[in-house]
Chain A
């Protein structure tokens, strides 16, 4: 069982690192999708079927498309993928953001009570999952929904912005 876990971890982390290190942005996106698939495989290994398939449906199916569209629509040419001269301050802000995310994650992991001996994982059916989401976690679900709606409206506003005076061929 552990060998499978190690394999999944290797694939996930390896593709993620390759996605960051690669020069070809499109390859990076596809590797990222592969990394997400690895995460889904991990969920599957952990017995969380619903989360695994939802991960594939949402991340590999939808989010990767959004990333692809973003990459294709914003990048002007093949060679402009490298960051510009403002690299140092950019690197600093990247490290700070990464440290903040890592701090939140580590804090959450350390504070969550982990069983000393991991017994067999409880079989959570989809029905229970739905009841949980609609019951105790309804507020969180609503908050996420509002956030996504705001993001969607923001995207529409940005896309439908005033375009007069900006010829389309001259971005």
Chain B
């Protein structure tokens, strides 16, 4: 009959109207500045620099200023200057560090390519979206002090990815240490008896001529 659909529709809206008062499940909005929704883990907008230690962010940046991200960045929003000197990184190795590391968030397009290309897991995607600034030239230009966030923060944002990265870094570090230990041991052994033992007899197997040097 004509009009029955109208009555059904009115019933639906009335149900929603009443339901919004007593059914919190229906009432889905959050009051934004006071309440914040939990962002999904995969959410990303602008990059940040991972530092190992929250107390000394500048000293423990993973970034070694290799400038790969700067070169790969499609809108070219990254600007890096290498340091002249070297500083020990988190594992105590002497490394170059970024003297200047700027990201212009007004230019950044959140493509995550810098994260994909970084061989050191030093740059990751942040979830901060309240970046409004009163000065568009300086307010949106983030320097390395603003960009540096500790690894624990990364764990908060993307727990799965951060755990993977930590595992990988740990195994890499362990492998490097073992290799270094092995190399040191070999060196020590070589130093102990250099004249007595000649190099292995070359006549046994014809080796391919260029042996890649042990890295």
In-complex A–B contact (CB below 8 Å): no
Which of A's residues lie within 8 Å of B, judged by CB? none
Which of B's residues lie within 8 Å of A, judged by CB? none
